Amino acid sequence: MKTLTIILCVLFSIHATSQEDYAILRKNMVEKQIQARGVTHLPTLTAMLNVPRHEFVPEAVKPYAYFDQPLPIGDGQTISQPYIVAFMTEALRLKKTDRVLEIGTGSGYQAAVLATIVDSVYTIEIVEKLALEAKQRLKTMKYNNILVRSGDGYHGWPEKAPFDAIMVTAGAETIPQALIDQLKIGGRLIIPVGPHNGVRQLVLATKKKNKITKKNLMSVRFVPFTRDE
């Protein structure tokens, strides 16, 4: 019975064409992949239910947009698995009034999820082509509270700092100090940290008055954080 359900779901995904079909796939994704694994933060679940993930992936992989996996978005980069997007979003304990920095715009999907929850999102992408595409896509989709910039996110975005929260969606070997500096007191940073191309730890760092506390949340694989020079 379970196998039959999976086969039917896959067939439905591959033949989905209307907005209603995609809405059904999103509801299924939220229930089976995200809530089932323990995400409960309502604004995160609502965002995952509303942001049309299929609009952020290349035409060729659209049928797989709501599958339980990361997908290629061109230039050797990937859009993260839906559960990881939701998990990282929930971990930041976001409030409506927050200003958030994302490093690694990619398709713009994670930025869109954040932007439906918070006041404003600033996002930096090192591959210029991806940055331009994401900027255009987010503009067309009317995500008016997202600012996209092309460049090396290692230095953060000092002109727009300080931030309530920062999310890095590429795997770094260490936490860039500039990102810590650009957090408000009480601010949260989530970043995959670990050896190049290996399994990394998703680290949640919180900036207190005189110290930084760090917590390892789970093991993850991410495309590497690259540098401009």
Interacting residues toward ligand SAH by CB under 6 A: 73, 77-80, 103-104, 106-107, 109-110, 124-127, 130, 152-154, 169-170, 223, 225-227
Question: Cβ of residue 209: shortest distance to ligand SAH, in angstroms?
Answer: 29
Please give the Cα distance from 196 to 205 (Å, whole number): 20
By beta-carbon proximity to ligand SAH, the closer residue of 39 and 124 is: 124
From the list 150, 85, 151, the residue with the least C-alpha distance to 112 is 85
80 is catalytic: yes
Q: Does residue 131 come out as left (phi exceeding 0), alpha (psi in the -120 to 50 range) or beta? A: alpha
CA atoms within 13 A on the CB side of 136: 6
Q: Is 228 exposed, middle or buried (0-12, 13-18, 19+ CB in 10 A)?
A: exposed
Question: Cβ of residue 210: shortest distance to ligand SAH, in angstroms?
Answer: 29
Per the listing, tokens 């590429």 go with 170
Question: Cβ of residue 211: shortest distance to ligand SAH, in angstroms?
Answer: 26
By beta-carbon proximity to ligand SAH, the closer residue of 16 and 134 is: 134
By beta-carbon proximity to ligand SAH, the closer residue of 25 and 191 is: 191
Give the count of beta carbons closer than 10 Å to the beta carbon of residue 20: 9
Of 13, 18, 80, 120, catalytic: 80
Q: Taking the alpha carbons of 124, 126, 132, 133 in that order, is the dihedral positive or negative?
A: negative
By beta-carbon proximity to ligand SAH, the closer residue of 11 and 219 is: 219
User: What stretches of 115-211 adopt beta strand conformation (E)?
Assistant: 120-125, 146-150, 163-168, 183-193, 200-207
By beta-carbon proximity to ligand SAH, the closer residue of 28 and 150 is: 150
From the list 68, 27, 81, the residue with the least C-alpha distance to 50 is 27
Residues carrying an active site annotation: 80
